[in-house]
Amino acid sequence: MTKLIDYNNNNSDENVEVDRISDLAIDYIEQKKSFTKRSYTDEEKKVVLALSSMSYSQRDISNMTNVPPSTVHNWQNGQGVDSIDYQSVSEQLKANLQSRLTASASKFLSLAHEKAPEASFKDLMVGTGIALEKEALLGGNATHRIEHVSKKIDVINVSKNDLTDKRRYLEAELTDLKEDG
């Protein structure tokens, strides 16, 4: 290995340590030069984009697919995926997950009767509700409904002159009441 430093002192312990660090640095640089980026198939890209369309986080997608989060981020922003049509894969994943959630909801309902003495019925029903809600979401159905109620307010159109006349009349009545009273 080539030495990076020409030593003028005779402290051999320091020289050995510097040589060791230098060797490690050179090895690291050579490894970086030989490192090639992994290429991904269109199918791998489709799966990543389909998971992304299902609102999985970049970290979750990275953990599931072993694709680095930075690569997931780049693909989500359209880099290197110009001709990738991931919609069919996304729909297949959603349909698969929807059927699994429906099966889970059915299991929870059947377990509710069997496990009621052992488990909280409330907990079993919460699990059932969550599974049914997720199934509805994947099926494109609403999970709640919001209603907006508005009341119509009748607006009375009165001219400024009419209001002025009414005010003068009321002020006169008030003055008469004070004088009488």
Note the Cα 82 to chain centre separation in Å: 23
Q: pLDDT per residue over 155-181, tens digit each?
A: 677 778 888 888 888 888 888 888 876
Angle between helix 58-65 and 69-76 (nearest 10)? 120
Tokens 């359209």 correspond to 78
Q: pLDDT per residue over 81-108, tens digit each?
A: 877 777 777 788 888 887 887 888 778 7
- Quote the CA–CA distance of 106 and 131 in Å, as a whole number: 9
| Sign of the CA dihedral running 108, 113, 118, 122 | positive
